[in-house]
Amino acid sequence: MRRHVGARFVIVGLLAVSCAFASAGNAGAKRPVVNAKAAGPKAPFYPSFFGVSAGAEITKLPDASFDREMNLMHHIGVHWIRAVFPWALVQPQDNSPDDEEWAYVDRLVNYADALGMQIDAIIDNAPAWAEVPPSPPTDCDTQPNFDINAYAAFSAEVAARYPTSVVSAIELQNAPNLPGTWDVPNACGYTRLMQASYTAIKAANPDVLVLTAGLGAQNAVRQGVHTIAGHEFFAQMYTYGAHGYFDVLSWHPYSYPCTPSQSCTQSRPWYKNDFVRQLMVNNGDGAKPIWATEFGAPTNGKPDDGHVTEDQQNSIMVDGLNSWVALPYAGPMFVFSFRDFGTDPAHKSNFFGLVSNDFKHKKPAYFTYRQIALGLKAKAK
């Protein structure tokens, strides 16, 4: 039986909303969940189309910053939050239920529930106790530096713990086609992780949507390791048996420094949308949707690194929202990200936010997002 999550109170404007969850027995009374088998979006826009990819940071923010970010996202019409559920944060010592620490994750889920939001939970950040020596990169059973079965078991525990009206989707890692969690990207090894995790999650909660890891990026060299472009990695996943082990493709269709309607950077993932869709059709997954789980543009950085002005960020976002919702296979779009991660211009990754790191500056895209998502005239608040 799904466990209750401790109640807390959330201030939304002047209202205090109780966040205690209903038990599994009356979870059906919750608002409807996006259906993975739906025919596609209902143009021009619908409330659950709008998401933000907030990443790992939001889960562990201090209460004041957490409250502010959550309520500002609600204020501009964000419905979906894509956030990391850090495995190491919950199970820092071992996988014994007596040693688990769910407080930060419960806070996020409770708050989202109170605000009427849904969560796409990325399961990532393995604990030290689950580490295993990586196998050779030439081996089809290549694993990351953690035990795949332990990862699957934790993913299933998340699926069983929370009602699908709130934690509606579980995403199996992020960007395994890039170096990081995997010393060397390996589509076969990742597919093995997906097969184990999908089976465990569906046994625990058949109603939750299971997303592939977010895929995108181009062929490049990062940290001395060759990345695999997202569309190529996805094709390899099918070769190794991905069919039947996901409900939704999580896709990162970046186009910057161009708008999606332009064709100046054909290597960007946006221009591979039709390719990945055709892969799904060819492999019997034509009825499944694609979610744009990251889309945006950085507004600062080093010279010639592809960053754009704030007005250009706004134009890219508007064109992206309008173009994505028109695709018959498209699900929600998650803007990356709500808040700048930092202030160091040496790294453009710090500046994808709709607002500055200290919340003091709201970029034009913040107000435009609100205007589109809420259908209201944007007001500076």
- Is the pLDDT confidence value at 56 over 80? no
Architecture of the domain made up of 9-374: Alpha-Beta Barrel (3.20)
Residues 192-204 have pLDDT tens digits of 999 999 999 999 9
* pLDDT, tens digit (0-9, with 9 covering 90-100), for 203-227: 999 999 999 999 998 877 666 678 8
Quick one: average pLDDT of 337-347? 95
pLDDT, mean of residues 132-158: 83
Residues 198, 151 contacting (CB under 8 angstroms): no
Instruction: Please state the rounded mean pLDDT for residues 105-112.
Output: 98
Q: Rounded mean pLDDT of the chain? A: 87
Query: How far apart are alpha carbons 176 and 189 in whole angstroms?
Result: 10
Enter the DSSP assignment of 211.
E
pLDDT of residue 118: 98
Q: Is the pLDDT of residue 1 over 80?
A: no
Integer Cα distance of 83 and 174 in angstroms:
11
- pLDDT for the residue numbered 81: 98
Q: Estimate the crossing angle of helix 63-75 against helix 103-114, to 10 degrees.
A: 30
CB neighbourhood size of 68 (10 A)? 14
320 contacts 271 by C-beta, under 8 angstroms = no
**What's the pLDDT tens digit per position in 15-26?**
333 333 333 333
Any bridge partners for residue 93, and if so which? none
Supply the pLDDT for residue 141: 62
Angle (CA) 372-68-64 rounded to 5° is: 170
For residues 306-332, give the mean pLDDT. 96
At residue 136 the predicted structure's pLDDT band, cuts being 50, 70 and 90, is low
Q: What would the mean pLDDT of 151-155 be, rounded to a whole number?
A: 98
Query: For residue 267, what pLDDT is reported?
Result: 78
The predicted structure's pLDDT at residue 158: 98
Alpha helical stretches, state H, 142-213: 148-161, 187-204
| pLDDT at residue 174 is higher than 70 | yes
Q: Are 283 and 238 in contact (CB under 8 A)?
A: yes
State how far the Cα of 63 lies from the Cα of 66, in Å rounded to an integer: 5
Residue 245 to residue 243: CA distance in whole angstroms: 6
Q: Rounded mean pLDDT of 305-326?
A: 96
Question: For residue 32, what pLDDT is reported?
Answer: 35
Whether the per-residue pLDDT at 11 is higher than 90: the answer is: no
Phi, psi of 45 (to 5 degrees): -145, 160
Residue 67 confidence (pLDDT) above 70: yes
- Is 82 in a helix, a strand, or coil? strand
Tally DSSP H helices, then E strands, for the chain.
9, 12
In tens, the pLDDT along 238-259 reads 999 999 999 999 999 999 999 9
